[in-house]
């Protein structure tokens, strides 16, 4: 991969503080900036991947609901009430 120069303006005091902080960690400012840039790109890729997954899940749910695959509210409430009760029993038993 070829390298290019990335030039930008920053307040002199901030540059000085950043360089000092980098040196205290045995890193150069350039190394830290590259690390920050990689992490930012990775974070954005992860966010985009999660967004795409979430959208697919919503579409699957909508498709399923539109095809009549629905659970009545009372049935869902009863199922999760039973799960809550079982959890409470396990907690009480562990005391």
Question: Is residue 61 a part of any domain in this protein?
Answer: yes
What are the tens digits of pLDDT across the range 76-87? 999 999 999 999
- pLDDT for 95: 85
Tell me which residue range forms the domain holding 61.
Answer: 12-70
- pLDDT for 1: 76
Question: Is residue 33 a part of any domain in this protein?
Answer: yes
- pLDDT for 8: 92
Query: Is the pLDDT score of 43 beyond 80?
Result: yes
Radius of gyration of the chain (CA): 26
* Cα–Cα distance for residue pair 51/9, rounded to 1 Å: 33
Instruction: Give buried/exposed letters for 42-69 (b at 16+ CB in 10 A, else e).
Output: eeeeeeeeeeeeeeeeeeeeeeeeeeee
* Number of folded domains that form the chain: 1
* Model confidence, pTM: 0.66
The pLDDT > 70 percentage for the chain reads 100
Question: Is residue 28 a part of any domain in this protein?
Answer: yes
Question: Is residue 59 a part of any domain in this protein?
Answer: yes
The whole-chain average pLDDT of the chain stands at: 96
């Amino acid at each position: 991969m070829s390298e290019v120069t990335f030039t930008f303006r920053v307040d002199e005091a901030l540059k000085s503080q950043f360089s000092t902080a980098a040196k205290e960690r045995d890193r150069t400012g350039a190394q830290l900036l590259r690390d920050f840039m990689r992490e930012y790109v990775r974070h954005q890729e992860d966010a985009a991947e999660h967004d795409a997954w979430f959208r697919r899940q919503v579409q699957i749910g909508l498709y399923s609901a539109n095809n009549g695959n629905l659970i009545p509210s009372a049935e869902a409430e009863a199922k999760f009430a039973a799960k809550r009760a079982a959890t409470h029993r396990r907690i009480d038993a562990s005391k």
